[in-house]
Amino acid sequence: MGDTELSYYLPSRADGINDMSMCVSFRAPRHLFSPRRVLATWALLLLRHPLLAASVIAPPANPFETDYSDARFSYAAPSSPADIMRKADALAKLQKDVQVDEVFNAFVNGKRILGADRLSYLILTENHSNTDDHAEYILFICSTHSIGDSVAFHLLANDFFTIIAGTKIGSRCTATDLEELVRKEWQARWGSGSTRVVLPPPVEDRLPLARSMLRKAVGKVDFLNRAREQIVGPSHSGGHALPRTMEGKRKVTVQTFTFDEFTSQTILQTCKSQGVSVSNALFALCALAWSRTQLERGSQLRTDLPIMMYTALNLRPYTLPFDSSYWMTALGFFNVILPSFLPSRSRVGEKTSWKTLRSTFWHRARSAKAQSTRASKHPLVASRAREMARQRSETAKAFAVEDDAKELGLAMPPRTPTSPSSIIEPSTAPSTALLGLSHLGNLDDIYKHRDYPSIRLQTMAPAVRMRPGGLLLFGYTFAGKLTFNLEYDLNGFKDEIVEAWWRDVLRGFDELLIGKPTSRL
């Protein structure tokens, strides 16, 4: 495994932390989604993306002797078309009359679906079928985060719909025709007894390498300096977090809020007129909402400390080409840091005007844009991603030692820090993230709706099997509608603070992006 893969694999071993899923609801003709057609389509995708059908060979869980870097993926080539069809059947479940909330809850709160011998799984649910040969469906796909990311999920779902119902092939194919496509795909890949390597290389091996010792040294210094800025510099650290508690077992909920198409366009056009994206505005909105929530609840707001949020960076645009599969984990991370103070009042006791609040909001959205642009356009982005993956891998290995020792009932000495902070002088400025935020952009650029007109895609929602006390916010446009998914642990936060903050986020949309100034501060 590469460093990124290892950093996700090791924490997932016990309870599937970071396992990912994607759920698409749609309406379609029932004859297109017969069990034989679904399994043949899934088998074809398993052939094209072998990590989905791979397994993990893990080193022994001995904290004193194990080299956790020895964990690796293993792929057994299917011996025949029938063999890959059996594999598809083992990695899929077809069911009826199960609601989407039940599917989600089983994944995020129930017994783990995935494991070392099952890195991916597909569930197709048929609901509300009627006499006109149409039904409501839920396509649920999950995988370990060590093998895939959100971009891979959406590319895969689009391919699934294209194969099974596309105007060029799928809608004209019988189940037998689709099984013949599986046979041809298997023949092309394995029919000649090929033993070629088929698993894609880890993302670190696909990022451009520094070609000189000097460039490598510059990259490491840049990474350490960047870490120092965010850990030590008071203006670059985060000092705000939603207050957490542990009140019983983890209980994750996924709250979805979708704007209609007209309002979605209004929000998009408003952001465009200000020279920012919805993603930039969302950072500013989350930070502003937190400050308002704190003041409205009578809590102390540390205006001397800024608010930090972390987000993922898609590394695919920076990788060297690899034609065989898009299914991989290609993520880096960066922070967006914004002020926590609210605009000052004109007179003592006077509330901040909506005009002043709006001006402050757009200024901070432009600041978020500038930070995001610097992170994604930096000439050392590949070096930064590689160094961060190495650091996260080392941290994951250190925690794996502790986890295995605890499982075996062994005492461990205090862990030696491996992060950059261990080589940077201490600071009184904390470095805490408010939440993880990921805006996936316009997913309608990935889903080619016109290629499968017999399917009407309705909603899409991601979910992650998270740690206790986790909090993630996803944003995206799907089927023309701007949607936000808030996922968090109901038992992990105090005094309904997440619900209060989320109400202020939604209120901010009304006031600042839609143009309904419903309240004042």
Asked if 285 contacts 292 with a C-beta cutoff of 8 angstroms, the reply is no
* Average confidence (pLDDT) over 55-83: 88
Grade residue 418 by pLDDT with cuts at 50, 70 and 90.
very low
Domains of the chain: 3-194 (3.30.559.10), 237-379+430-514 (3.30.559.30)
Average pLDDT over residues 292-304: 82
Q: pLDDT tens digit string along 360-387?
A: 999 999 999 999 999 999 888 888 898 8
pTM: 0.89
Query: Computed over its alpha carbons, how large is the radius of gyration of the chain?
Result: 24
Reference 289, options 329, 238, 340; nearest CA is 340
Q: Check if the beta carbon of residue 67 is closer than 8 Å to that of residue 97.
A: no
Q: If you average pLDDT over residues 294-317, what whole number do you get?
A: 87
Phi, psi at 238, each rounded to 5°: -110, 140
Residue 461, φ and ψ in degrees, nearest 5:
-145, 130
How far is Cα 356 from Cα 352, in angstroms, rounded to an integer?
A: 7
Quote the distance between the C-alpha of residue 157 and its chain's center. Answer: 15
Do 483 and 477 meet the contact criterion of CB atoms below 8 Å apart?
yes
* Contact of 343 with 357, CB cutoff 8 Å: yes
Which H helix or E strand runs over 218?
A: helix 213-231
Give the full edge-to-edge strand order of the sheet including 481-489.
252-258, 481-489, 471-478, 433-442, 307-314, 331-338
Sign of the CA dihedral running 108, 20, 6, 215:
negative
Range 281-288 average pLDDT: 95
Q: Check whether 59 has a pLDDT greater than 90.
A: no
Res. 415 pLDDT band, cuts 50 70 90: low
Q: Which range is least confidently modeled, 20-34, 131-145, 359-373, 412-426?
A: 412-426
**Is residue 429 over pLDDT 80?**
no
State the pLDDT at residue 213. Answer: 63
Q: Which range (215-219, 314-318, 447-451) has the least confidence?
A: 215-219
Residues counted in the chain:
521
Contact 254, 108 (CB under 8 A): yes
Confidence class of residue 412 from pLDDT cuts 50, 70 and 90? low
Q: How many CB atoms lie within 10 A of CB 446?
A: 15
CA torsion through residues 512, 515, 518, 520, sign? positive
Which parts of 302-457 fold into alpha helices (H)?
Answer: 354-377, 381-408
